[in-house]
Structure formats: structure tokens, C-alpha cells
Chains A and B, each alone.
Chain A
Amino acid sequence: MTIETIIPIPNIFEAKRILCVQPHYDDNDIAAAGILTQLSKNGAEIFYLTATDDLMGVVDASLTDKEAADLLKSDQFAAGKIVGVKEQFWCGYPDAGEYNYFDLRRDFLKYIRMLKPDFVFAPDAWLTYEGHHDHVQTGLATAEAVMFAGLTKIASSDPDIDAAYEEHDIQGIALYFTREPNYIADITSTWEDKLDAVRCYEAQFTPTDMERLITALDAKSRQVAQGQSFARGEPLKVLHTSALHVGI
């Protein structure tokens, strides 16, 4: 028996400003480029915030860190154009590294108070069998930062932003990379855009690995659409901000 939230699921298509917090440079697009492309076409402003520097998974190990960082950003901007991302921000924590959870939360609080999104996307930190620490940390810190955005006694990493902040309403959070979706987004119309965006991430995939990833995404998009009235989907756990606490 699993008890679901009694708070209605907020509608992501009502969001005007969406902040998508990702552990690594390609997570937002691999998980949700289909739905995010639709949301940007629908008029929402889409912002990406990347927690780590992604320097561990770079294919060409001969690159300096500076060259790798430039290449990663160039991939991100190319994909951002396809999806319709308005602006991108980076926290620069070491990829797969030993960074402090509270530093991460303070930085997320800063960007949430600065950008004032009305919806936040992030990986599902409660995804069972997720092995990557960066994903769990990013998902947990995003959830707490969303809950605490209005409590300025809890400081962000930027006192000026905290002082200038006026409380705003975050309608909800959409958790991607989830095994417990309550919403399957129909991405049939933007599947090709998603593929084009994902193919931009060349710095971290060999051509062969990229084909494997596309094949896996192809199969997954059909699997999650089974029993739906459409062909391809992206699974999301969409929760009201108040549903992030005590299971209400």
C-alpha cells in the first residue's frame, strides 16, 4: 500500500518561468527535452542550472580542463537553442566529487531567489537504484531549496539576493528520471527535437555510445507511453511544493 498526496498535481503548462536544476550538463535534455521544448513553445521561460563541472566523463582525456569546459558549454548552448533555453547558469562543483550538501543548497537557494521560477525541474532524488551521488545530492538539495525559498532566515550563498528577495510562489516541482511517475508527458510531437538536442552532447559520448543512448531513449520513450493514447512519453513526478514534506 502506498499513499499518494492529497494535494492536486499542479499543471506544468501554466508555468511562466521554469528553472531546471541538473547534476550534469546533459541531464535536463536527456530526461525532459521533449516536454521542455513544448513548454518553451508554449511561452515559458526556461532556465538551466548545472550543479557540477562535468570534467570526469569527457571522452577526449587529452583536453585541458579549460578546453573541456569550453567544449561542454558549446554542447550545452547548441542543445539550448533547440529546446529554447533562455539562460544557463553553473555552480561548478566537482563532477562525482566530495562537495558539501549545504553549499549546494545555499547556491540553489541563491538562484531560486534570484530567478524566481514558478516551477522547478530536477532529478528524482528518491529514484531507487540510482547509483550516482551527484544525482541524489542535486535532487535532495533542490527539493529543500524549493521548500525553503520563502524562509530567508535560511541564508543562500549571496546575502544581497536574500536581502532583495520578496516572497514568491513556486507552484510545484517536476522530478524527472523517476520510477514513480504521476504524469507521463506526451512528447510525440517533440521527439525529433529531443533527439537533435541530445545529439549535441558530443563531448561526453563517442559516436557509438551516442547511438546506444538514442536507442535506449527510443525504447524508454515507448515503454512509458504504454497504455497511453500517444506513442512516446517522458515520465515525471509532479508535486505541489507542499507535498515535499510529511507525505501530505
Chain B
Amino acid sequence: MTIETILPIPDIFAAKRILCIQPHYDDNDMAVAGTLTQLAKHGAEIIYLTVTDDLMGITDVSLSDEATAEALKCDQFAAAKIVGVKEQYWLGYPDAGDYDYFAVRRDLLKYLRRLRPDFVFTVDPWLTYEGHRDHIQTGLATAEAVMFTSLTKIASSDPTVDAAYDEHEIQGIAFYHTREPNYISDITSTWENKVDAVRCYETQFSPEGMDRRVALLDKKSTQVAQGQSFARGEPLKVLDTNALHVGI
């Protein structure tokens, strides 16, 4: 027996500004490019924020850090064009590194207060058997930052942003890379866009590695749509902001 929240699941299609916070440069698109493409077409402003610098997983280790960073951004901008991402931001924490949770949370508070999204997407840090610490840290820090956005006594990393902030409402949070979805998004109509976006991430995948990844995403998208009225899905745990605390 697992007790679910009593708060209604907010409608992601009611969102006007969506901030998508990812640990690594390709997580948003690997997980939810299908849904985000639909939301962008529906008129929402989509903004990406990447927490780490992604310097560990690159395929060409002969590249300098500067050349790598450029190649990574070039991949991101190509994918963003397909999905319809309006703006991108980076925090630059060391990939797979020993960075401070509270520093990340302060930076996330800064972007939440500055960009004032009404919906936030991020990785599910409660995904069991997720081994990557960057994912757990990013998901947890995002959840706390969403809860604490209007509590300006909790400082962000930018006092000017905190001073200028007028309270706004974040309707909800959508966790991707989840094993416990409460919403399966129908991405049948945007599946090809998703594959095109994912294929832009060439810096971290060999051609064979990319084909393997696309084959896995293909299989996963049909697995999660089983029992639904559509062919392909992306699983999400969508929660009201108030459902991020004490299991209410």
C-alpha cells in the first residue's frame, strides 16, 4: 500500500513559463523532449538550466575543456531549435564532482526568482536504482528551491535578485526519469522530433552508442504506453508544489 497525495495533479498544459532543470546537458531531452516540444508548440516558454559542466562523459578525451564546452553547447543549441527552447542557462558545477548541495540550491533559487516559471521540470531524485549522484543532488535541490522560492529569508546566490523578487506562484513540478509516474504523456505526435533532438548530442555519444540509446528510448516509450490509448509515452510524476512536503 502506498498513499498518494490528496492534492489534484496540476495540468502541465496550463503552464506559460516552464523551467527545466537538468543535471547534464541532455537529460531534459532524453527524458521529455516529446512533451516539451508539445508544450512549446502549445505556446509555453521553455527555459533550460543545466547544473553540471558535463566534462567527464565526452567521447573524444583529446579535446581541451574549452573545446569540449563549445561542442557541448553547440549540441544543446541544435537540439533546442527542434524542441523550441527559448533560453538556456548553465551553472557549471563539475560533472560527477564533489560540489556543495547548498551552493546548487542557492543558484537554483536565483534562477527561479529571476525567471519566475509557473512550472518546473526536473529529474526524480527518488528514482530507485539511480546511481548517478548528480541526478539525486539536482532533483533534491530543485524540489527544495521550488518549495522555498518565495521565502526570501532563504538567500539565493544573488542578493539583488532576492531584493527585487515579488512573490509568484509555481503551480507544480514534473519529475522525469521516474519509475513512479502518475501521468503518461502521449508523445506519439512528437516522437520524431524527440529522436531528432536526441541525435544532436553527439559529443557524449559515439554513433553506435547513440543508436543503442535511441533503440532503448524507442522500447521505453512503448513500454510506458502499455495500457494507454496511444503508442508512445513519457512517464512523469506531476505534483502540486504543496505535495512536495510531508506527503500531503
Question: Number of contact residues on B: which range applies?
Answer: 20 to 34
Name the A residues within 8 Å of B179 (CB-CB).
Answer: 2-4, 247
In the complex, residue of chain B having the shortest beta-carbon distance to the beta carbon of A241: B131
In the complex, residue of chain A having the shortest beta-carbon distance to the beta carbon of B226: A3
The segment from B13-21, B74-82, B122-130 found at the interface with A is B122-130
The reply on A72 being an interface residue by CB < 8 A is no
Question: Number of contact residues on A: which range applies?
Answer: 20 to 34
Name the A residues within 8 Å of B219 (CB-CB).
Answer: 6
Q: In the assembled complex, how far is the CB of residue A191 from the closest CB belonging to chain B, in whole angstroms?
A: 28
A151/B56 in contact, CB under 8 A: yes
Contact pick for B131, options A3, A102, A153, A244, CB 8 Å: A244
Q: In the assembled complex, how far is the CB of residue A120 from the closest CB belonging to chain B, in whole angstroms?
A: 11
> When chains A and B are docked, how far (Å) is the Cα of A199 from the Cα of B224?
46
The reply on A45 being an interface residue by CB < 8 A is no
Name the B residues within 8 Å of A7 (CB-CB).
Answer: 216
Our count of residue pairs bridging A and B at CB distance below 8 angstroms stands at: 76
The reply on B181 being an interface residue by CB < 8 A is yes
Q: In the assembled complex, how far is the CB of residue B171 from the closest CB belonging to chain A, in whole angstroms?
A: 23
> Do A140 and B220 contact each other (CB < 8 Å), given the known contacts A1-B181, A102-B98, A153-B56?
no
Q: In the assembled complex, how far is the CB of residue B180 from the closest CB belonging to chain A, in whole angstroms?
A: 6
The reply on B42 being an interface residue by CB < 8 A is no
A247/B127 in contact, CB under 8 A: yes
> Do A246 and B181 contact each other (CB < 8 Å), given the known contacts A102-B98, A126-B128, A154-B56?
no
> Do A6 and B98 contact each other (CB < 8 Å), given the known contacts A153-B55, A246-B130?
no
A1/B180 in contact, CB under 8 A: yes
> When chains A and B are docked, how far (Å) is the Cα of A245 from the Cα of B56?
15
> When chains A and B are docked, how far (Å) is the Cα of A102 from the Cα of B94?
13
Known: A1-B182, A3-B235, A7-B216. 4 other contacts (CB 8 A): A126-B128, A153-B61, A244-B132, A245-B132
Those 9 A-B pairs whose CB atoms lie nearest each other, nearest first = A143-B131, A244-B131, A126-B128, A246-B177, A102-B98, A3-B179, A6-B219, A153-B56, A247-B179
| 7 intermolecular pairs with C-beta atoms under 8 Å apart | A1-B182, A6-B216, A6-B219, A7-B216, A144-B133, A153-B55, A246-B177
